[in-house]
Amino acid sequence: MGQRFEIPDMSTLDEVLLEIRGKLTKSRNLYDTSVGQLKDYLYDLNSSKTHSEDADVSVLEIYKWFVAKEKSIYYALN
């Protein structure tokens, strides 16, 4: 049926609200940091610094082709 929730004492609502806002802020900061680091990682992975003559080739696109090739091989084998 229904759920029961504990309601804090009315005098401590401000403290609970500040605590929840602090947790929310920390979660947002962690999320933003994670997204930024993931973007940086993917940009670094995509840039081919070791092959300066292949500057217009995307490393991620090459990986995508490789995975598609491997999937088609295993699909044909099955």
Domain range for residue 65?
A: 14-77
Q: What is the pLDDT of residue 62?
A: 80
Q: pTM for this structure? A: 0.53
What average pLDDT does the chain have?
83
Establish if 63 belongs to a structural domain: yes
Burial of 71 (0-12, 13-18, 19+ CB in 10 A): exposed
Establish if 54 belongs to a structural domain: yes
Establish if 25 belongs to a structural domain: yes
Establish if 6 belongs to a structural domain: no
Q: What is the pLDDT of residue 52?
A: 57
How many independent structural domains does the chain possess? Answer: 1
- For the record, the structure tokens of 3 come out as 């759920």
* pLDDT tens, residue by residue, 9-46: 888 888 888 999 999 999 999 999 999 998 888 787 77
Query: CB neighbours of 14 closer than 8 A, spacing ≥ 6?
Result: none
